A and B are shown apart, each in its own frame.
Chain A
Amino acid sequence: QLQLQESGPGLVKPSETLSLTCTVSGGSISSSPYYWGWIRQPPGKGLEWIGSIYDSGSTQYNPSLKSRVTISIDTSKNQFSLKLNSVTAADTAVYYCAKYYDSVKSGFDYWGQGTLVTVSS
């Protein structure tokens, strides 16, 4: 059974960089083809897609976050990561990593439990 687990600091200062890692167990992250994504949920709000990484490291990002987001993959550690720079209080959210069931044009069949990241000084 595939499992995903987010990890990283729960508190980030404004203007700094939020860094999270998703560790995949129960399967190889690089089983071709692969499609992985990050989604977040601010307090009291809905789900927001952040971005995806697929095939040989290709990426797609939410246009509203594109200038601040980087998603990368480390196949040797079976992990993929999210970096969001210049954070503000508006970036406070529960962050989820997830796997697409087919291509990046499909949906997410496996999710991590989520990790709360608070942006505050």
Chain B
Amino acid sequence: QSVLTQPPSVSGAPGQRVTISCTGSRSNIGADYGLQWYQHLPGTAPKLLIYGDKYRPSGVPERFSGSKSGTSASLAITGLQAEDEADYYCQSYDNSLVGSVFGGGTKLTVL
């Protein structure tokens, strides 16, 4: 079981908006460490999409946005495109485990 909980899968039609949730606890998300989101395509390196809860690295489209409240966080993708079909992971730091923790991953299917 992962320390951070994500839904196994989400789906949406092209052009729609989807959200992926990430639920943690007071020792990670709730401890106000930065929350990251990664996009992972099979056979490639994970790509940093969101860092520090809501910031996009250079080159990441504005269609991707992050938010956090309490012990939960969300990744929103608007204007869904076929190329967005991938696995998405949230990641934070946990002061109880003293290390980084990942969510179990969410598979996004573009219908």
Contact = CB atoms under 8 A, between A and B. Distances in A.
29 contacts: A39-B102, A46-B2, A46-B102, A47-B89, A47-B102, A48-B102, A49-B100, A49-B101, A51-B99, A62-B97, A63-B97, A63-B98, A63-B99, A96-B46, A101-B51, A102-B34, A104-B99, A105-B34, A105-B93, A106-B34, A107-B36, A107-B91, A108-B36, A108-B48, A108-B91, A109-B51, A109-B57, A112-B45, A113-B44
In the A-B complex, list the 7 residue pairs whose CB atoms are closest, starting with the nearest.
Answer: A107-B36, A111-B45, A105-B93, A49-B100, A46-B105, A47-B102, A46-B104
A114 B41 CA distance: 12
A47 B48 CA distance: 14
Given A46-B89, A47-B46, A107 B101 contact: no
Interface in B32-47: 33-34, 36, 38, 40, 44-47
Nearest to B105: A46
A62 to B, nearest CB: 6
Contacts of B52: 106
A107 B34 contact: yes
A46 B36 CA distance: 15
A101 B91 CA distance: 13
Interface of B: 2, 33-34, 36, 38, 40, 44-48, 51-52, 57, 89, 91, 93, 97-105
Count chain B CB atoms within 10 A of each CB in A47, A52, A105, A109 and give the residue with the most: A47
A61 B91 CA distance: 16
Interface string A49-69: 101100000001111000000
A52 B100 contact: yes
Contacts of A102: 34
Nearest to A63: B97
Contact of A111 (B46, B99, B103): B46
A46 B100 contact: no
B51 A107 contact: yes
B11 to A, nearest CB: 19
